[in-house]
A and B are shown apart, each in its own frame.
Chain A
Amino acid sequence: QTVVTQEPSLSVSPGGTVTLTCGLNSGSVSTTHYASWYQQTPGQTPRPLMYNTNTRSSGVPDRFSGTILGNRAALTITGAQADDESDYYCVLHVSGDIYVFGPGTKVTVL
């Protein structure tokens, strides 16, 4: 069974930089997994942030960036702001043409 991994929680100072990662229990993440990222605040609908590893969704500021870091997909927030405090989910396209979400990373800005 394919399992996607994410850090349970991360914290960042206002104006600071934080990197979230998205891994696979079965091996390395590559661009062929078409990693995408979603931001969700409590009670709200998930908001698309990034797709195809490093393409920002419409309206997403350029302080959000995506890449492959080693064997994981990564989402970096540069110049963190208070309203970046959210849950962040990655999802990977895996064998069988299916999608698997990670458990989410709770980002705290303090």
Chain B
Amino acid sequence: QVRLHESGPGLVETSETLSLTCSVSGGSVTPYWWSWIRQPPGKGLEWIAYIYYNGDTNYNPSLKSRATLSVDTSKNQLSLKMTSVAAADTAVYYCVRYGFYHFDTWGQGILVTVSS
């Protein structure tokens, strides 16, 4: 059974870059699509973007200018970078496998707090 594990700093300063990694175990990043989804504390879910194992991507228009997804097939990892973060980017960030038009396998999530 595939498992996803997000890692990265839990605290990022305002205007800096948030960098997260998702390690995939029990399966391969190929030939799947993968997504990042976030959830501010006490609020709802927001889709950030998805990426195919070959690097094809699509982004939420509201975040497109700041978010970048990448995949490293040799390490079986995905990554998310988000620039110029602000308090509104404080959230639990989930790495998610994207199946047939849905998000079928979720990581446990990582809380990232943006602090000044």
Contacts and interface: CB of A to CB of B under 8 A. Distances in A.
Interface in B90-115: 94, 99-104, 106-109
Contacts of A46: 45, 94, 103, 106
Contacts of B16: none
B46 interface: yes
Given A34-B101, A36-B101, A51-B100, A45 B94 contact: yes
B73 interface: no
Given A34-B102, A52-B101, A98 B61 contact: yes
Contacts of B107: 45
B58 interface: yes
A102 B44 contact: yes
A75 to B, nearest CB: 13
Interface stretch (A9-17, A18-26, A76-84, A89-97): A89-97
Contact of A51 (B35, B37, B61, B99): B99
Contacts of B99: 51
A93 B50 CA distance: 12
Contacts, number: 61
Given A46-B45, A46-B106, A98 B101 contact: no
Which of B44, B58, B60 counts the most A-chain CB atoms under 10 A from its CB? B44
B109 A45 contact: yes
Contacts of B108: 45
A93 to B, nearest CB: 5
28 contacts: A34-B101, A34-B102, A36-B102, A38-B45, A45-B94, A45-B106, A45-B107, A47-B106, A48-B103, A48-B106, A51-B100, A51-B102, A51-B104, A52-B100, A52-B102, A57-B102, A91-B47, A91-B103, A96-B61, A97-B58, A98-B47, A98-B58, A98-B60, A99-B47, A99-B60, A100-B47, A101-B37, A101-B44
